[in-house]
Amino acid sequence: MLDDLKLIHERDAQDALGIAEKQAAQYEYSFGFDWAPPEAISDVVVAGMGGSALAAKAFKVVPGIDRPFEVVQDYALPGYVAKNTLLICSSYSGNTEETVSVLEAALADERAARKPMILVVASGGKLKEIADANGLPFIELPSGYQPRHTFGYQFRALAEIFQATSLRVDFIPTLEAAAGQLRSEVTQLVPTVPTNDNRAKQIALECIGKSIVVYGGPLMFPAAYKWKISFNENAKQIAWTDQFSEFNHNEFLGWTKQPVNKPYTVIDLRSNLEHPQIQKRFEITERLLSGMRPAPIVVQAAGTSVLEQLLRTIQLGDFVTLYTALLNGLNPTPVELIEKLKVELTK
């Protein structure tokens, strides 16, 4: 079925596969952001949910940042946020209520003496309205996408923010070089490449009718989280994720007994750049759980740097989950139930 180009085109009505094929261009997109922070930056907080938080989680594990960096997925502004904090409020739609709540709290009158330095990243919506009304620096993301399909734009926005504030200098050329590698590699993942030669299609075929579990070490966990999000939203398939070595302190034992029949697909995102003990834990875990859980699909991250490995593994996951959606007989783009939830929350 995955080699039937006519059927793929019919099911993928909004061309999500085409967006995935062109994601390298998102990392090369220039926002031309130029802003000088009025205070010395002591720490960074990114407020965002779902796909809008994911870029920050990935950016956080790339070496080179020497300040405390927290990703907040909540309605509440952390109490420690003060005038030397760089607060980045990120929501693709601009209407994510948790992120709007954090921004409003940061601007509240009672916090005037401790107001942080605030930047806003969105495609429009309420966040843009608040940014315009308060004269806040604003990066406008290209509109017309689902948030999970804009990881590259949001990662690039963070790169420009960190470049402008001197928190991460000379990073953009490295990012653009990694994007060039994606453009070369994607030719092996597109629909015209038959299943026998297409790693993404092969993995998708092993995911049908199963609950998906994606594991990563500290460096690859953002990619594992992206796979989880994409299985949920693209394939409408239940998935979860966990991080090594925390996994070995609890979830590890959960595989040993109940349920006896385990209808899962296990995917390990492994990296040769992880701490040696993390790499060892993956290998020992696979051996000790042999026969107690499905043998994991091992994805060995390709590339010579953390950034390269993250971006290439994320790209592979996007194609895997889109092909899984098509195998499920679904158009991968719509997320009607999330839209219904948002409407219900406003009542």
Name the percent of the chain lying above pLDDT 70: 100
Structure tokens that stand for 186 in this block: 């994607």
Which residues fall within 8 angstroms of residue 110, CB to CB, at 6 or more apart? none
In a domain, 270, yes or no: yes
254: left (phi over 0), alpha (psi -120 to 50) or beta: alpha
Question: What is the model's pLDDT at position 213?
Answer: 98
pLDDT per position as a tens digit, 49-94: 988 899 999 999 999 999 999 999 999 999 999 999 999 999 999 9
Question: What is the model's pLDDT at position 347?
Answer: 79
Reduce the secondary structure of the chain to three states and give it as a string: CCCCHHHHHHHCCCCHHHHHHCHHHHHHCCCCCCCCCCCCCCEEEEECCCHHHHHHHHHHHCCCCCCCEEEECCCCCCCCCCCCEEEEEEECCCCCHHHHHHHHHHHCHHHHHHCCEEEEEECCHHHHHHHHHHCCCEEECCCCCCHHHHHHHHHHHHHHHHHHCCCCCCCHHHHHHHHHHHHHHHHHCCCCCCHHHCHHHHHHHCCCCCEEEEEECCCCHHHHHHHHHHHHHCCCCCEEEEECCHHHHCHHHHCCCCCCCCCEEEEEEECCCCCHHHHHHHHHHHHHCECCECCCEEEECCCCCHHHHHHHHHHHHHHHHHHHHHHCCCCCCCCHHHHHHHHHHCC
In a domain, 121, yes or no: yes
Measured between alpha carbons, how far is residue 144 from residues 20, 25, 61, 120, 167 in Å? 14, 16, 29, 18, 30
Among candidate residues 6, 110, 249, 336, the one labeled active-site is 249
Residues 82, 201, single domain; the answer is: no
Residues 157, 195, single domain; the answer is: no
Question: What is the model's pLDDT at position 335?
Answer: 82
pLDDT band of 345, cuts 50, 70, 90? confident
CA angle 10, 13, 15 (to 5 degrees): 115
126 is catalytic: no
Pairing of strands 138-140, 85-91: unpaired
Residue with tokens 């953390």, as numbered in its chain: 306
Residues 251, 307, single domain; the answer is: yes
Residues 125, 152, single domain; the answer is: yes
Residues 104, 168, single domain; the answer is: yes
Burial 227-238 (b: 16+ CB within 10 A, else e): bbbbbbbbbbbe
Residue 42 burial (CB count, 10 A): 13
CATH code for the domain of 218:
3.40.50.10490
pLDDT at 284 over 90: yes
Question: What is the model's pLDDT at position 110?
Answer: 87
Question: What is the model's pLDDT at position 346?
Answer: 83
Residues 163, 231, single domain; the answer is: no
Last residue of one domain, picked from the residues 131, 158, 178: 178
Task: Report the distance separating Cα 230 and Cα 237, nearest Å.
Answer: 9
Q: At what angle do helices 172-185 and 151-164 cross, to 10 degrees?
A: 160
pLDDT per position as a tens digit, 300-342: 999 999 999 999 999 999 999 999 999 999 999 988 888 888 7
Question: What is the model's pLDDT at position 334?
Answer: 81
CA torsion sign, 310 to 313 to 319 to 324?
Answer: negative
Look up the domain containing 272 and give its range: 184-327
pLDDT at 1 over 90: no
233 is catalytic: yes
Mean pLDDT of 91-112: 94
In a domain, 46, yes or no: yes
Residues 199, 213, single domain; the answer is: yes
State how many domains the chain has: 2
pLDDT per position as a tens digit, 14-38: 999 999 999 999 999 999 999 999 9
In a domain, 120, yes or no: yes
Residues 36, 155, single domain; the answer is: yes
pLDDT at 218 over 90: yes
In a domain, 311, yes or no: yes
pLDDT per position as a tens digit, 124-182: 999 999 999 999 999 999 999 988 899 999 999 999 999 999 999 899 999 999 999 99
Question: What is the model's pLDDT at position 302?
Answer: 95
Residues 322, 223, single domain; the answer is: yes
98 is catalytic: no
Residues 174, 38, single domain; the answer is: yes
Among candidate residues 98, 160, 233, 308, the one labeled active-site is 233
Question: What is the model's pLDDT at position 50?
Answer: 87
Q: Whole-number mean pLDDT of the chain? A: 95
pLDDT band of 344, cuts 50, 70, 90? confident
Which residues fall within 8 angstroms of residue 206, CB to CB, at 6 or more apart? 265, 297
Last residue of one domain, picked from the residues 178, 213, 230: 178
Task: Report the distance separating Cα 203 and Cα 298, nearest Å.
Answer: 10
Last residue of one domain, picked from the residues 148, 178, 208: 178
Residues 287, 172, single domain; the answer is: no
In a domain, 136, yes or no: yes
pLDDT band of 343, cuts 50, 70, 90? confident
In a domain, 334, yes or no: no
Residues 142, 196, single domain; the answer is: no
In a domain, 47, yes or no: yes
